[in-house]
Amino acid sequence: MATTTSLSPETPSTPGEPETTAPAPLTPAFSPLYQQIKVLILKSLQAGEWKPGELIPSEMDLAARFRVSQGTVRKAIDELAAENLVSRRQGKGTFVSTHAEQQVQYRFLRLMPDSGDLSSEGPAERQIVDCKRLRAPADIAHPLALRTGDAVLQLRRVLAFQGTPTIIEDVWLPGGPFKGLTADRLAAYRGPMYALFETEFGVHMVRAEEKIRAIAADAASARLLGLPQGEPLLSVERIAYTYNDVPMELRRGLYRTDTHHYKNALS
């Protein structure tokens, strides 16, 4: 679909005065068609029409459904794939991205061992230190788009790699979408926590934002990580979002830096 623009008419000149024409602003009336199709596909993903890990309809079927060309659908799916919302598999089709896949289990975790990568260390050993429901204080409610006093679930856990405690995580989740989540369910689930959110609570984390700073280990974090008090740690605060930028998790992690480093690919 061609972009429609609205142009202001020229101002007529007055006799005896120099003729002037005010520049006409260009105002797009519509977003490109492929972006409109992308929004429609996103609505279907958000509604759960196609769940994480499931095959979505072919480009031809989607083109027929939305009454557009296959090329328009392909361009919309290209953007969704670039945003890791769907993944293409050669000869199989396009699937809704899921955190249950081995290659994306650590999609939001950028901590790497000084030799190798996280996958080479094997699955993380997880210890649930605490899990409770409480009323959200203001500093927790605000990043989760909740009201102060709304119910949240607070979780503290320690992740160890190859027997070495490496990460302490404090996680806050809105109480409504995660009703029924307990320490026992978290401890019993062997896959990634985000995969548990997908399969049992219908919440799919699609992107995250992080803030990182350096701190010194206090007595409590030093004890959990088996480090001397005052040892340098990375403090990472992450907000994870589901579709349409709805915040669904606030996570504050402390990462040890004597055996690991933070790695991010920039492009």
Same-domain status, 83 and 115: no
Q: Is residue 46 part of a domain?
A: yes
Q: Give the tokens for residue 229.
A: 């008090």
pTM of the model: 0.73
CA distance linking residue 94 with residue 55, whole number of Å: 6
Q: Which domain holds residue 57?
A: 33-96
Q: Give the tokens for residue 29.
A: 């009336």
Neighbours of 13 (CB within 10 A): 11
Q: Is residue 11 part of a domain?
A: no
- Per-residue pLDDT of the chain in tens (267 residues, 90 and over written 9): 433 333 333 334 444 444 444 454 454 556 789 889 998 998 898 888 898 888 999 999 999 999 999 999 999 999 998 888 888 888 889 998 887 654 444 566 767 787 766 666 667 788 999 999 999 999 999 999 999 999 999 999 999 988 889 999 999 999 999 999 999 998 888 888 888 898 889 898 888 999 999 999 999 999 999 999 999 999 999 999 998 889 999 999 999 988 888 887 765
Same-domain status, 173 and 137: yes
Name the domain boundary from 50, 79, 96. 96
By CB neighbour count within 10 A (0-12 exposed, 13-18 middle, 19+ buried), where does 65 fall? middle
Closest to 119 in 3D by CA, of 100, 104, 137, 99: 104
> What CATH number has the domain bearing residue 115?
3.40.1410.10
Give the pLDDT confidence score for residue 2 in this predicted structure.
38
Same-domain status, 113 and 82: no
Name the domain boundary from 76, 96, 116. 96
CA distance linking residue 259 with residue 265, whole number of Å: 20
**Cβ neighbours for 66, distance < 8 A, ≥ 6 positions apart:** 37, 40, 73
Count the domains in the chain. Answer: 2
Name the domain boundary from 47, 68, 96. 96
Same-domain status, 46 and 73: yes
Q: Is residue 19 part of a domain?
A: no
